[in-house]
Structure 1
Amino acid sequence: MTSAPVIAVFRPDDDRLRDAVALLESLECEAVADAMLAVEPTDEHPRTDAEFTVLTSKTGVELVDESDWVPTGELCAIGSSTAEAFREHGYGVDRVPETYSSAGLVEELRDAVEGVRVEIARSDHGSDVLLEGLNDIGAYVHETVLYRLVRPAEAGESCERAARGDLDGALFSSSLTVEHFVGAAADRGIREAAIAGLDDAVVGAIGRPTADRAADLGIEVDVVPDTADFETLAREVVTRIRERE
């Protein structure tokens, strides 16, 4: 391979997508920016009587910060980016699980939440693992859906590039980005061709749940980083691509 690797990225069309493109360009790659997620706020607010409040994304932190919400109890964040968003908006973070996942947070709270109220504020596509896990260890759990994640109508350039065999890599940052990629390809009548096109690319998934969902949909994943972090994912995929040269 003599030209710059061409890598598709599917993050929401905001700073996350722009930062992802900048990262790939700094690694001397060509980014195909194809946002597979758009945020639709629900205007719901988290409860304010919980002993533990859990937010699972930077988007969630930004939405509640724009409201009149006043957090109560210990603030918990899944992942470093969510924790950093809390701090950027002036909130302290009390707990971040060692493993950045719903299961990791359940383990973090295992000895702390029996018989107490836990508020979970997140998207409409949150994992049941968190709700069921906290209920199983005795917490009184309430969930607030802060926003819905939908597929933008214009999404799909990456599907067409994959179907033509024009992608060297793809960076799936959630299970939903995988589902929306496949859905966008199906809407264009190129589902099988797009998935086949990824067979010749290096496909990265940010964590095991994302990789498992990709496998369910017929997409073979080559890279799952030990740390569920987008920059780590991107760097490992680029390294794998260059190892193939």
Structure 2
Amino acid sequence: MSERGRPRVAVFRPADERIETARTLLDGLGVEAVADPMLAVEPTGATPEAAAYVVFTSKTGAELVADAGWTPGDATVVAIGPKTADALQAAGYTVDLVPDEFSSTGLVELLAERVGEEPRSSGERPAADDTSVEVARSDHGSPVLLDGLRDAGADVHETVLYRLVRPEGSGESADLAAAGTLDATCFTSSLTVEHFLDAAAARGVRDEAIAGLNDAVVGVIGEPTRATAESLGIDVDVVPTEATFEALARETVAHLRR
């Protein structure tokens, strides 16, 4: 608990407007945000290849292709969720498809019939035999998306738009967890979990930090992140009903209040 009496909740968003938005949201929920960015973006300079469907899985990817002047041509543009869709639209792109579930699994469910060998109705594909899907994302994307699309019959190619690395100096939250003074965490990807533990190890408190997390409330954004956390010895308390940071923050704080 912080000196001001408000619970401390760690957030690991990149050090840009996303971490500030997280701070504002958590402040409004009556808790103290411990902003400890665990991801930094290193662009590769690559742009998506031509395909019938081009899939974007992050706001960062949308911004990078816009900065590079990429044009979709006749492709059907697919966004994993509303934040990615908003970023694409703000850059002037038309977003054709967004899944009901904002996750890799949701994208597979959305595209499976469209790229499958036997579509149920006409007009579901941009071209009669074009099942090509270009996935434009980071170097740490879930294999669920690529494997699921290939199993559905798609011709899948992946372009790595950027690499995600751990920022220098990260790990304040690991020290707090190790000291037993962190009340909750909001992990937004498997990589944030891994980088948190890397930072803890670098500070010599890995085991203590895991113990501290297991005495706190641990929220994760989806099932793949839950699987990663639990495989590393971290007990997960909250997986939000919707895979967005706002839902994660609200449901984690609600659990903490209980």
What displacement does 1:183 show? Answer: 0.8
Deviations 1:43-81 (A, max 9, x none): 01111x311110000000000000121013111011221
What displacement does 1:91 show? Answer: 1.5
Q: Which runs of 5+ in 1 are unaligned?
A: none
Q: Which runs of 5+ in 2 are unaligned?
A: 117-129
The TM-score, its normalising length taken from structure 1, stands at 0.95
Alignment correspondent of 2:37:
35
Structure 2 Cα separation of the partners of residues 160 and 28 of structure 1 = 22
Alignment correspondent of 1:68:
69
Aligned with 1:53: secondary structure? strand
Map 1:70-219 to 2 at 5 A: 70-72=71-73, 73-114=75-116, 115-219=130-234
Deviations 1:79-100 (A, max 9, x none): 2211121122222211111111
The reply to whether residue 10 of structure 1 matches residue 12 of structure 2 is yes
Look up the equivalent residue of 2:90 and give its one-letter code: E
Deviations 1:182-233 (A, max 9, x none): 1110111100100101122111001111111100111111111111011111
CA RMSD for the aligned pairs? 1.2
The TM-score, its normalising length taken from structure 2, stands at 0.91
Aligned with 1:111: secondary structure? helix
Alignment correspondent of 1:59:
60
Look up the equivalent residue of 1:224 and give its one-letter code: V
For structure 1, which segment, 127-136 or 111-120, has the greater mean C-alpha deviation from structure 2 after superposition? Answer: 111-120
Structure 2 Cα separation of the partners of residues 35 and 82 of structure 1 = 20
Aligned with 2:208: secondary structure? helix
Deviations 1:8-27 (A, max 9, x none): 00011011111101111111
Number of residue pairs aligned between Structure 1 and Structure 2: 242
What displacement does 1:116 show? Answer: 2.1
Look up the equivalent residue of 2:232 and give its one-letter code: L
Structure 2 Cα separation of the partners of residues 237 and 135 of structure 1 = 35
Structure 1 Cα separation of the partners of residues 76 and 45 of structure 2 = 23
Structure 1 Cα separation of the partners of residues 147 and 96 of structure 2 = 22
Aligned with 1:97: secondary structure? coil
Structure 2 Cα separation of the partners of residues 199 and 111 of structure 1 = 41
